[in-house]
Structure 1
Amino acid sequence: MNGNGIERVGRIQLRVHDFEQSVDYYSNILGLDVTGQDDNRVYLKAWDEWDHHSVILEKSDYSGMDHIAFKVTNHDVLDKLERKIEQFGCDVKRVSNQSRLGEGEAIRFILPTGHTFELYHEIDYVGVPTGRLNPHPWPDGLRGIAPHRLDHALLAGDDVDTTMRLFTEILGFVQTERVVSVDSEQLIASFLSTSMTGHDIAFIKGPNAKLHHVGFYLGNWYEVLKAADILARNGIEIEVTPTRHGITRGETIYFFDPSGNRNEVCTGGYAVYSDFPTITWTEDKLGQGIFYHRRQLNETFSSVFS
């Protein structure tokens, strides 16, 4: 959908301080497949993702996000976007080929919210267990929650306005939904899509360079309910039990990894096209927008970041 050549969210690198427990959690409870490892990182993918990895776990003394990256259609797109991003005012650096396992060259820059963002084209192709010839709908041997793919991330920072302009004016994203204050229409949150989903990335006003959550896609509402069963059976604290969003209309559940990074698995939502009109929510209805059934935020959801 994106006219500027950005296809989709490709990967996220998370910092984890309990490394072995985190690898076990992401592979056996969340249900991702390990595809590689180097000195300080483990690489994972969901069963329905074709590229080498979508999640990187990095050994660290802290939790949070190292970077998030989106895949572009070709190297010409990468060169053009590099110039446009520099003209917007961001310093852009090149990440050399094979700096991380399976990855080609990328460009890296800092968003106005303080987050590290990358764009890339090349990454090793490994395929999916169902194959490409007369495939079954799902593979044998799935573990844990087993999401289909990395879906999105919600990030926190102070300058949501400039970041929204960067994504819409330079990177070609569609702002699908936004939250504004009741009196001044100050932008509080922005939901942005480069594909056909309700959001591939979103920003909410808060402390700079922080991760609110990383979301993974499930096939249906039953799988969200089953995720709650799997989490409970494994003693994982559930922050928000299965419910529905007003914003994006998604069906969802929230919980934390062993290092305190918030995870979401979700399904549902709507299709987005290039002419999709932005939906506006006012701050006084934010509780309804986030948790449509209870219509109020809980304390941790609005205050805990990593």
Structure 2
Amino acid sequence: MGKPEIAKLGHVALVSTDLDQSLKFFKEVIGLEETTEIDGVHYLRAWGDFQHHTLSIEQGEDSYVKWIGWRTKTKDCVLGFKKLLQEANVVVEEFPMGSTPGIGNTIRFQLPSGHTFEFYYDVDKPEAASEYKSILKNQVYQAHRKGISPRRIDHVNIHTSTNANHTFDFLLDTLGFNLREYVKGDEGILAGWMSVTSLVHDVALVQKSALPSKARLHHLSYWLDNSQDILRAADILREQGIPFIGPGKHGISQAIYLYVMDPGSGCRVELFTGGYLIFEPDWEPIEWTRDEQLTVGNTYWGDSVQDKELNNITIEAR
């Protein structure tokens, strides 16, 4: 067997101090569908997500992210990553099929930044209830049935107060991510956009010196099909009286964005569309300076993501 590979971002496990508020936000405002609820944990997905869930939410005394899940390309890749990680002296925990509903045998470990990742291959792909099921065989739920209604999970953006270069090396060399765009500073890479798919990023990592704890989630992102969907999302959020940042366009990734905060957990959600795909096998990562990031990279046009209170809050990742 060759080097193990990751196929895609799978899910985020979220703990909320106000579960009712979070469920109202993600189900009715964002428009995610609930697959099931087991032992107080609610499992949600977008109308175009096929696997069991892309977000789980449960009640807790603190709001935080328990782990970020990734699906591997084959079942053997899970064991392959276990071997690689142990050879790198990384502590690996194993969980049997069913420990998380809808997910097969799993390994879980921490990045040098302190974020917890889990890898798995086997997944359940339950059909939608008949009254919500799409007539399209290549789609799970009816689109735009409620709320903003994104199509699928897109990416995560994580922050760390540690030296990010250790985590970049780990993501690129050990886990097999590809660096697509990055911000260079005197001490190395300050921010990097990395993917295992053709997306500009499945995960972004940013080094921030002043954080309440070393591992944070800046945002979880869901994909909308076009910029008109982003404008519709802004209307829905305004009607609900929920503050947001955007719409705007990133220079880095070239995507159209809108940021909104879950009032229950404090988890930021980016609604995301546009951008570009990478199909070149010899892609050369795009380098930005810190000044370029601030003047055009973060915000190319529109409502700025910089120096806004909503944008400066991050939720702990453990």
The interval holding the TM-score normalised by the smaller chain is: over 0.9
Amino acid at match of 2:152: R
Amino acid at match of 2:232: K
User: Within 5 A, what are the aligned runs for 1:150-299?
Assistant: 150-157=153-160, 158-181=162-185, 184=186, 186-206=188-208, 207=211, 208-238=214-244, 240-258=245-263, 259-273=265-279, 274-287=281-294, 288-293=296-301, 297-299=306-308
Q: CA deviation at 1:300?
A: 2.7
- Indicate the percent of aligned positions where both proteins have the same amino acid: 30
Q: Does residue 17 in structure 1 map to residue 14 in structure 2? A: no
1:33 match? 33
- Residue ranges of structure 1 left out of the alignment (5+ in a row): none
Q: CA deviation at 1:50?
A: 0.9
For 1:49, what is the secondary structure of its paired residue? Answer: coil
1:146 to 1:84, Cα distance in 2 relative to 1, 3 A: same
Q: CA deviation at 1:122?
A: 1.1
Alpha-carbon distance in structure 1 between the residues aligned to 2:243 and 2:195: 30
Alpha-carbon distance in structure 2 between the residues aligned to 1:64 and 1:42: 15
8 Å CA contact retained: 2:251, 2:300: yes
Amino acid at match of 1:173: F
1:130 match? 134
1:100 to 1:161, Cα distance in 2 relative to 1, 3 A: same
Q: CA deviation at 1:186?
A: 2.3
1:41 to 1:84, Cα distance in 2 relative to 1, 3 A: same
1:300 match? 309
8 Å CA contact retained: 2:48, 2:140: no
Alpha-carbon distance in structure 1 between the residues aligned to 2:248 and 2:261: 17
1:54 match? 54
8 Å CA contact retained: 1:130, 1:137: yes
Alpha-carbon distance in structure 1 between the residues aligned to 2:187 and 2:199: 25
> What is the CA deviation profile of residues 61-116 of structure 1, one whole-angstrom value per residue up to 9, with x for unaligned ones?
22231110110122211111111122223211102221122221110000111011
Amino acid at match of 1:178: Y
1:82 match? 82
TM-score normalised per structure 1: 0.92
Name the Cα RMSD after superposition.
2.1
1:95 match? 95
8 Å CA contact retained: 2:249, 2:299: yes
Q: CA deviation at 1:251?
A: 0.4
Alpha-carbon distance in structure 2 between the residues aligned to 1:141 and 1:221: 15
Alpha-carbon distance in structure 2 between the residues aligned to 1:137 and 1:61: 34
Give the count of matched residue pairs: 301
TM-score normalised per structure 2: 0.89
- Residue ranges of structure 2 left out of the alignment (5+ in a row): none
1:147 match? 150
